[in-house]
Amino acid sequence: MHSHFGMDAQTTSGEWLTEAHGGFGIAIEIKEKLVSTVSEYQKIELFETANLGKMLVLDDIIQFTEYDEFCYQEMMAHVPLFAHPNPENVLVIGGGDGGVLREIAKHDCVKRIDICEIDQKVIDICREYVPSLAKGYDDPRVNLYVGDGNVYIQDKQQFYDVIIVDSTDPIGPGESLFNEDFYRGMRGALRESGVITSQSESIFLHQDVIQGLLRIAKKLFTKYSYAGMYVPTYPAGNIGLCAASLGPEVEVPARRPSVEMQRQLRYYTPEVHEAAFKLPRFGMEVIESVRAED
Ligand code: SAM
């Protein structure tokens, strides 16, 4: 897999997968389709790409490529885990590929890692074909529950220190993870200094989704904010997370990675943690307009 591609433009006659939104899109050159199936919940495709390793596509939306998945997984996991002073019990909702589990397992202070993923087929396919992410399941602290995250969360009381919502988009099975009822469930499931992050789309493309999540977070949590990150194979080359907490600041880390752990990370640093919450002015206005509402 290439880590950089040089400056030469290339035209090829190979097969490309295109994901487009709002009249523009990204195109990924495909070497081989490895899996194509339909589960109870969604269409699932796994590709070997020409340059970016394996790529998972659900309902025609790219979920990850092995080339740049570290950007998303590291930020989704390490922002809330380092914002929390001592996370012990951690829950992932969605995240069936295992990539976020892999990152959580790097924290020695974590004692228990639960995951609630709705689709057993996503888990099975990633375990068979994508060990670079699915190795996250190998950690002995991991407990897997297969079911709807919005059902799972409702009877949990003050148990988790960190909850990470690694979901698909708010259409299809992921829809139930974007409403107030789900966020109330998460608040009830958190211990008193609890911190959450949730996959929150692109500041260029989905300002309405971001504002909707921030309005819910504002109602239910004491701190809330939005951070952006570079991910070249998501639409517009970026995605974001909403972070919310019942106590700790979310925009600055309470702990720092050890020297040894920092060596294992390719995206997250304490400086990147803080910088990700600094948005360009048009983005800050999207956030500030929710903060200014009564
Ligand atoms: N990084 C990805 C992205 O945003 O493109 C997300 C990847 S992860 C594979 C998303 C997972 O969320 C999928 O495996 C999907 O099955 C799962 N999911 C969707 N709705 C869910 C729900 N209601 N409860 C639990 N898991 C859900």
**Catalytic one of 161, 166, 181, 208:** 166
The model carries a pTM of 0.96
Token digits of residue 50: 């020409």
CATH code matching the domain that covers 8-65, chosen among 3.90.550.10, 2.30.140.10, 1.10.150.130, 2.40.320.10? 2.30.140.10
Look at ligand 1, atom 20, and give the residue with the nearest C-alpha. 174
Please say if 108 is a catalytic residue.
no
Calpha distance 204→206 (Å, rounded):
6
Task: Name the packing angle between helices 207-220 and 180-189 (round to 10°).
Answer: 40
Q: How far is the CA of 163 from the centre of ligand 1 (A)?
A: 14
Q: Which residue has the CA at smallest separation from atom 18 of ligand 1?
A: 94
Q: How far is the CA of 93 from the centre of ligand 1 (A)?
A: 7
Segments making up each domain of the chain, as ranges: 8-65, 69-292
Element (H, E) at 146: strand 142-146
CATH topology of domain 69-292: Rossmann fold (3.40.50)
Strand 54-58 and strand 61-65: pairing?
A: antiparallel
For residue 7, the CA-to-ligand 1 centroid distance in Å is 35
Measured distance CA(283)–CA(257) in Å, rounded:
29
Number of neighbouring beta carbons within 10 Å of residue 286? 16
Taking Cα atoms as reference points, which of 220, 174, 222, 233 lies closest to residue 200?
174
Pocket of ligand 1 (CB under 6 A): 63-64, 72, 93-97, 116-119, 122, 148-150, 166-168, 173-174, 176-177, 199
Per-residue pLDDT of the chain (294 residues; tens, 9 = 90+): 556 677 666 666 679 999 998 888 999 999 999 999 999 999 999 999 999 999 999 999 999 999 999 999 999 999 999 999 999 999 999 999 999 999 999 999 999 999 999 999 999 999 999 999 999 999 999 999 999 999 999 999 999 999 999 999 888 899 999 999 999 999 999 999 999 999 999 999 999 999 999 999 999 999 999 999 999 999 899 999 999 999 999 999 999 999 999 999 999 999 999 999 999 999 999 999 999 998
